[in-house]
A = this chain, B = another copy of it.
């Protein structure tokens, strides 16, 4: 079928594409061509098959009538679309529990997010080992980010410090920020931000638990 590769993919779709990729990756690398239908994907992820087909129409990949989508091909195109096969240079600011855990998490490296700098303003934390790295003082961050060509900054500092850290990262040339702090961060349009706040997710969950009975009947 004909296909127009749309230039901009809506955020709601991009978020699901990351789930399709995770799903396609669960098939592993075994030999033998495997196929998956929009119905199967939908079932596994709690969506409708219509949504899946509509979403996949945004990427440069075609399914085949009666067979579905070739898993390996789908996975390759999703990896490309999402930048999952690129190597990204990442710095973490904030060496608290969360920052340290992220810096030590091998999963990110496996997926191309190479953490090559960890910073904190607390002198007591400076010098501590984080895998092969050592925590550096925040004052060294701007030179490091521009010198090392850091693409992504992960902000894992207290809310009150978040915007200041973000401003420094932006001034030093990062292209994207993952914000784990509780505070909303404002950036120029050229610098992308994704917010990922565990506390907010927990609050969303606690609200839903509290009112679940009313919703469900």
Contact = CB atoms under 8 A, between A and B. Distances in A.
A212 interface: yes
A216 B190 CA distance: 7
Contacts of A44: 184
Given A194-B205, A200-B18, A202-B178, A210 B7 contact: no
A17 to B, nearest CB: 8
Interface in A3-48: 7-9, 11, 14-15, 17-19, 21-23, 25-26, 44-46
Interface of A: 7-9, 11, 14-15, 17-19, 21-23, 25-26, 44-46, 81-84, 86, 88, 96-98, 100-102, 104-105, 107-108, 111-113, 151-152, 159-160, 175-178, 182-184, 186, 189-190, 192-194, 196-212, 214-216
A86 B176 contact: no
A203 B23 contact: no
Which of A84, A177, A196, A209 has the most chain B CB atoms inside 10 A of its CB?
A209
Taken together, the copies of this chain in the complex come to: 2
A135 to B, nearest CB: 15
A201 B194 contact: yes
Given A22-B159, A107-B199, A184-B44, A86 B194 contact: no
Contacts of A81: 207
A24 to B, nearest CB: 12
Given A18-B204, A178-B205, 17 more contacts: A18-B203, A19-B200, A22-B197, A23-B184, A44-B184, A83-B207, A83-B210, A96-B105, A98-B102, A102-B198, A107-B199, A112-B206, A151-B209, A176-B208, A190-B216, A194-B202, A196-B201
A38 to B, nearest CB: 15
A112 to B, nearest CB: 8
A97 to B, nearest CB: 4
Kindly list the 7 A-B residue pairs having the minimum CB-CB distance in the complex, ordered from nearest: A101-B101, A83-B206, A18-B200, A192-B208, A196-B201, A97-B101, A194-B205
